[in-house]
Amino acid sequence: MLELQNICWTASDGKEVLKNISLKIRDNRLIAITGPNGGGKTTLARLLMGIEKPTSGRIYMDGLDITDLDVTERARKGISFAFQQPVRFKGITVRQMIETAAGETMSQESLCAILQKVGLCAKDYLDRDIDATLSGGEIKRIEIASVLARHTQLTIFDEPEAGIDLWSFQNLIQAFEEMRSNLDGTLVIISHQERILQIADEIIMIADGTVADRGPGPEMVAKMLESERASSKCCSRKEFF
């Protein structure tokens, strides 16, 4: 189980981004974190991965205090993170990145299956370097594939839909649905996208640095849709905020 106790985080300019957040998240669940831009969602995800450290409060995973562990130590404890804007690695091929993430040499069939989940053809990508020749969308999908290959206890995706075309997004939804049906740990997805929220076991809404609401996925989606109708606002991308 993942537990956050009284988490606060203040930016270098003095802005209080997260304000006394306490959460308990059970294992084997797909958790979607949503809310308005600037509300603190990505900051919370970065705190879970150890990219940032809380100003105050503690973070526990299965009863172990991981608050002071750095990114590498948390990765060893079984935490994966997919950035909203992935980094590029000159001189490393797609095959090498996925196998490094998996911690083993993989068969061609297994590599193909993982890349197919994110809408990429293995024969076109496995031996390509992860450099400037790849588009932002391609890099994003390759990073997601590497995270899928790790099968970690806690997997965090920061807005995985960003920069991905519609066809690839359909494949991504199917990959998340498959992960949800075979979960052995916790899957946390930061997202505004209705399709992702609809498959969540639980939705947590973060606004103004606090937990504004949380509840079962279907119940929260219905509540947000009703709120949208009441405010007479329409969003063509089917985002809630």
For 185-213, give the DSSP string: SEEEEE--BHHHHHT-SEEEEEETTEEEE
pLDDT score recorded for residue 9:
98
Chain segment 84-119, per-residue pLDDT in tens: 776 677 788 999 999 998 889 999 999 999 898 888
Mean pLDDT of the chain: 87
For residue 190, pLDDT beyond 90: yes
In angstroms, the first-to-last Cα distance of the chain is 29
- The structure tokens listed for 69 are 């562990």
Average pLDDT over residues 216-231: 86
Beta-carbon count within 10 A of 76 CB: 9
For residue 239, pLDDT beyond 70: no
Q: Residue 236: is it exposed, middle or buried by C-beta count within 10 angstroms (0-12/13-18/19+)? A: exposed
pLDDT score recorded for residue 15:
94
At a CB cut-off of 8 Å and minimum separation 6, what does 88 contact?
130, 131, 132, 134, 139
Of 140, 149, 150, 159, nearest to 77 by C-alpha is 150
- The structure tokens listed for 95 are 């095959």
When pLDDT is cut at 50, 70 and 90, the band that residue 233 belongs to is low
pLDDT score recorded for residue 69:
96
Average pLDDT over residues 162-189: 80
When pLDDT is cut at 50, 70 and 90, the band that residue 57 belongs to is very high
